[in-house]
Amino acid sequence: MADSTRIRLIEPADAAPIAAHRVRDVEAFRPWEPDMPEGFFTAEGQAERIDRLLAGYRAGSVWPGVVLAGEEVIGQVTVGGILPQPHLRRGSVGYWIASTAQRQGHAGRAVELALGVMTDELGLHRAEASTGLENTASQRVLRRNGFSPYGVAHSSIFLQGRWRDGLLWERILGD
């Protein structure tokens, strides 16, 4: 299935399918994401979020993409925190795949394609990511894409009522 995986820049029309996935998968993603306001799970809330992401894209601070299986939106992959300065040239990769499309290789392929965007389109030198310490599935995706863990960010994200540590990952692009 992963051979049909593609990524592209997010579009306003992606709001409804993203909202549908997020409503269905709210419990599946709860261990890994902070609580979201109720409006986040609506097509309108996603449309507003997409508008903000596209404004960030125009400003050069983010590359927001959707993950496609064939023509169906099944998730997102985003390069955020882009620092294009010649002495920095890095960005951070984040991604999610809808529960209906997990365990089919889509996440790994989406990250692989995002690394290509980071190198070829954005001209970045370094890719970073972070995962929860218990998120072994996401850690496997990063390892398979050449990332190495390099540290722990203590109390870096507030989830389920308490501060949690994150595992930091890096990959030098072009290697």
**What is the mean predicted confidence (pLDDT) over 165-172?**
96
- pLDDT tens-digit readout, 43-100: 999 999 999 999 999 999 999 999 999 999 999 999 999 998 888 899 999 999 999 9
Q: Annotate 50-74 with DSSP letters as a single string.
A: HHHHHHHHHHTS-EEEEEEETTEEE
Q: Which amino acid is at 84?
A: P
Distance of CA 78 to the CA centre of its chain: 4
Hey, what CATH topology would domain 2-172 get? Answer: Aminopeptidase (3.40.630)
What's the pLDDT at 78?
Answer: 97
pTM: 0.93
CA distance readout (Å), 21 to 16, 29, 82: 9, 11, 27
Under the banding of pLDDT at 50, 70 and 90, the label for residue 165 is: very high
